[in-house]
Amino acid sequence: MIPFIAPLLGVIGSLGKSWLETRKVKAEGSIKITQAKIDAKIARVAAKSHMDLAAQTGMQYSWKDEYLVILLTAPVILCFIPGLEQYALNGFKILESTPEWYRWALTGMIAATFGIRTWAGFKK
C-alpha cells in the first residue's frame, strides 16, 4: 500500500503547486490592472492641469474676460439706477426671444472664457 501513497502525494503536491501558481499570477494581474487604472487617473489630472495652464497663458493678454465681466454686470448695475431698471428687464425679454442655439452659444462662450470645469461645478 505504501507504493501507491508516494505517487498520490506527488500528484496532490503538484496540483497544489499549480493552484498556488495560478493564484499568484491572478493576484499579480489584478495588481497590474489596479496600477494601470491609477496611472490613467494621474495622467488625466495632469492633462487637465496642463490644459488649464495653457489656456491661462493664452489669455494672459486678452481683454475678453474683462469685457464679459462688464457685460454680465451691466444689467445688475442698471437695476440699481432709478429709471434704468426697465432697460435691463426689456433686454432680458428680448434675449429670451432669440433662438435657443444663440443662447447656448453665449453660454458656451462664457463657459470657455471662465473655465468649463468651473461652469460644470455650478451645474452640480
**How far apart are alpha carbons 20 and 22 in whole angstroms?**
5
Going by the DSSP 8-state scheme, the letter that residue 57 receives in this structure is H
Are 114 and 105 in contact, with CB atoms under 8 Å apart? no
Give the pLDDT of residue 58. Answer: 63
The whole-chain average pLDDT of the chain stands at 81
Look up the pTM and report it. Answer: 0.42
The whole-number average pLDDT for the span 59-78 is: 82
At which of 15, 38, 61 does a domain end? 61
What range defines the domain where residue 92 resides?
A: 62-124
**How far apart are alpha carbons 85 and 90 in whole angstroms?**
9
Which is higher by pLDDT, 122 or 113? 113
**pLDDT above 60: residue 6:** yes
**Per-residue model confidence as pLDDT tens digits over 11-61:** 777 777 787 888 888 888 888 899 999 999 998 888 877 877 776 676 666
Does residue 47 sit in the same domain as residue 32?
yes
User: Cell triple for residue 19?
Assistant: 493552484
At which of 61, 79, 107 does a domain end? 61
Does residue 68 sit in the same domain as residue 56?
no
Domains of the chain: total: 2
Does residue 85 sit in the same domain as residue 57?
no
The whole-number average pLDDT for the span 102-120 is: 76
**How far apart are alpha carbons 29 and 52 in whole angstroms?**
35
Does residue 69 sit in the same domain as residue 54?
no
Does residue 21 sit in the same domain as residue 76?
no
**pLDDT above 90: residue 100:** yes
At which of 30, 61, 92 does a domain end? 61
Does residue 122 sit in the same domain as residue 79?
yes
Q: Where are the alpha helices (DSSP H) in the chain?
A: 2-58, 64-79, 85-96, 100-114, 116-123
Which is higher by pLDDT, 12 or 88? 88
User: Cell triple for residue 1?
Assistant: 500500500
Are 88 and 78 in contact, with CB atoms under 8 Å apart? yes
Task: Return contacts of 70-74, CB within 8 angstroms, 24+ apart.
Answer: 72/110
Does residue 55 sit in the same domain as residue 112?
no
Does residue 1 sit in the same domain as residue 57?
yes
